[in-house]
Structures are given as structure tokens and as C-alpha cells.
Structure 1
Amino acid sequence: MTIDPPLERRQAALVVEDDDGVRRSLQLLLHWRGYEVRSFASATALLAGADLDDAAVLIADFRLPDATGCDVRRALGDRGWTGRSVLITGYPSESLDAMARDSGFDAVLTKPLRQQALFSALR
């Protein structure tokens, strides 16, 4: 009898997006690309979650019902989290780009998202 070696652990991705359809699309897309996806509909739910520190990436919507994506990134940074992060928005502006970078985001992408742009930003 042979025992298969354990499967390689998938990188974890955190998604916080209040739109159910967008959140589900991101879940499927990231899962298909090899990530273990943990998704949340609010900042409060994400920040209350366990095992956030091992996540490799964060994708956060800017406008959430209880905070902004920038608030989420700052809170994770305060915990010592240092993964790649992408802010997504339907309302792009230069001031939002500056706020996102000051909060620790690596990239800001406009909805609707393009797969290639998302995965380029996550590398």
C-alpha cells in the first residue's frame, strides 16, 4: 500500500466585498487560480475572522457597509499583516489612489475587474 504525499498547501486569499455577485465571482476566479479563498461581506466579519495572518493576499472593495477597504488594510497592517493587497472600486479617483497607497494597498483596480489586471496586481 502506498501513501500519497500531502497536497501542497494553497495560498490563502481574503476577499471583502458586499456585493454578493462580485464576491462570488472573485471566490470562483481565485479558487480556479489555486487560492484557498476566505470571503466576507463586511469589514467587521473579516476582522473578526481567525487565521487572517497566514493569508497571502487581500482583495477589498472600497465601499463597504461598515467601513472602507482602506480601514480594513490599515487594521490588518496594525496586526502585522504584510501580504499583497488590491483595492477595488467602481468610483476611481486620484485621491482614492493616494489614500489606498497610504493605507498599504499595492494596487487599485476599477470595476468591472479584468482577470489579467487582477492577477498581475497580485504577483
Structure 2
Amino acid sequence: MLNRTLISIVDDDQLYRESMRKLVVSMGYTVEAFPSAAEFLASRLLPETTCLIADVHMPGMTGLELHRHLVDAGYAIPTILVTAYPDEVVRDRALKDGIVCYLSKPVDDDYLERCLRSALQPGTSIEDNS
């Protein structure tokens, strides 16, 4: 089975970015990783990205700002945010803005996999457990 799903990871932490890339590849996805929002936005792979995993806190443009920029530019890419500094206010705002999942680092592998499935199957939501 050929999986044409492209997951793009944007995180300024090289070690975390690489470990996240390996994890998502191990789940069977095609993955590209970028060190900044600017590099992702300049990439020829932007239009092919079917899901985005982005760090919340990055220099230049945060993960939430990247998501808003993509929406404003007409790219409806399901987005998962990850952060080492969880904040309920930011989480609530992100979910209201259409973020699929807001995860704390280190992420739980099983929960990330459920988030990816939810992101790639519109109409299902991992966060509907309130």
C-alpha cells in the first residue's frame, strides 16, 4: 500500500525534530522536517503537506502563528501543536482556532498516533472528550 500522506514537522530544536521525524516515520508516514516556519513556508512541499506538526514556541513565527498564516493563505492543513511549556490559555485558543491536538513534550506516542488519525480523517476529533 502506497501512503501518499505527507506529514511536515516544524521545530527549531534539531534533536527533537529528528526524534519526532523518526517516530512518525515508524508509524508508516512520509515525513519532511523543517527547522523554522519560514523554511516550511518557502518549501515546495507546502502544497503537498496533509498534516503539520509544529512546535508552539519557535523564534520568528510560533506554531500557532504558522497555523493562522496557513489558514489566511488558503491552506487548510490539519495542524498538531507540541510544546515543552504547556499553557491552558494557549491550548484553549489553539483548539478554538482549529488546531487538531495540543500536546506536551515529550509526547505520548499512542496519543500522537490518534491525533494523526484524527487530523487525516476529517470529522473525527480526538479532543471531543469533555
Q: TM-score, normalised by structure 1?
A: 0.86
Question: What is the aligned partner in structure 2 of residue 64 from structure 1?
Answer: 58
Aligned mate of 1:104, from 93, 98, 106: 98
Please report the RMSD computed on the Cα atoms of aligned residues, expressed in angstroms: 1.5
Aligned mate of 1:54, from 48, 59, 67: 48
Question: What is the aligned partner in structure 2 of residue 4 from structure 1?
Answer: none
Question: What is the aligned partner in structure 1 of residue 23 from structure 2?
Answer: 29
In the alignment, the residues of structure 2 paired with residue 39 and residue 88 of structure 1 have an alpha-carbon distance, to the nearest angstrom, of: 14
In the alignment, the residues of structure 1 paired with residue 74 and residue 67 of structure 2 have an alpha-carbon distance, to the nearest angstrom, of: 11
Question: What is the aligned partner in structure 1 of residue 121 from structure 2?
Answer: none
Moved over 6 A (4+): none
Question: What is the aligned partner in structure 1 of residue 122 from structure 2?
Answer: none
Identity, % of aligned positions: 34
Q: Any unmatched runs of 5+ in structure 1? A: 1-6
Structure possessing the higher radius of gyration over alpha carbons: 1
Amino acid in the other structure paired with 2:74: G
